[in-house]
Amino acid sequence: MPELPEVETIRRGLLERLPGRRFVEVEQVEPFMLPEGAEPGLLREALPGRLIEDVRRHGKFLTLVLSDDAYLMLHLGMTGQVTLTSSGADLPKHGRFAFLLEGDEPRRLLFRDMRKFGGVELTFGRPTRRLESLGPDALEGEWTHADLARMLAGRTTPLKAFLLDQRRLAGIGNIYADEILWAARLSPLRPAGALSEDEVVRLAAEIRGRLAEGVRLRGCSISDFVDAEGRPGGFQRTLQAYGRQGEPCARCGRPLDRTVVAGRGTGYCAVCQS
């Protein structure tokens, strides 16, 4: 599933190419991926003529800022891909949304999603309300280790479940949670409120450190992630914990373990993560 670094990689690709382009036509809409009760015709009516002014991200949510105070939210769900392709060709398999954009060379903004867990929402006057329930962005938000300590305090939930909770910090998913906890030498099963001050400092540093590394390597392409130009990322080559159960821990050499936290398969070292 695309997490913060993958969505940021897509955002940077779109930011290079989208601002200044105008929607011409909505070629494809998947009603199942619109908010409940939304009118599929709204996108077809309201988008043509609007200019794309900016591409923003909060956690795993992308927002295209449009002219006349409109906002188009894109959420990639489990298997979403957002790419900018040439226009005119047939829509590829699993092409759920397709937007034709004007420019020297017309382009198609394409949202493919095999499993249809992603979503698209057009709002006016403000971005989608879904952003309001999110905590600060885990990488770029204004939070400190002292803020993190306050968020953790008193919680008995396992540390990994805390990291996955988008209401605390937004953007961390299953892969980066395992990598952050391995790097911070903290067990995913540890009660979140039980960390010492030093451990909180370590955790805060690794949250930003691992996510920044994911962005630097242009995302993690374990399954189907590609950037806005359709290219895979490189973070998968650096994985130390996620999906490595049974393989030796790079720090202590003992085989990595597997457990389940918050319903998610979790790779960790039971020896050097405590």
**267 close to 256: Cβ distance less than 8 angstroms:** yes
Shortest CB 160 distance to Zn ion, Å: 16
Q: Residue 61: which of 151, 143, 173 has the closest Cα?
A: 173
Shortest CB 183 distance to Zn ion, Å: 11
Shortest CB 87 distance to Zn ion, Å: 51
Shortest CB 247 distance to Zn ion, Å: 11
Shortest CB 266 distance to Zn ion, Å: 14
Give catalytic residue positions: 2-3, 60, 264
Structure tokens given for 12 = 């940077």
The residue ranges that bind Zn ion (CB under 5 A) are 249, 251-252, 269, 271-272
Q: How far is CA 262 from CA 90, 160, 163, 174, in A?
A: 41, 8, 11, 10
Q: Which is nearer to Zn ion, 38 or 271 (CB)?
A: 271
Q: Which is nearer to Zn ion, 128 or 240 (CB)?
A: 240
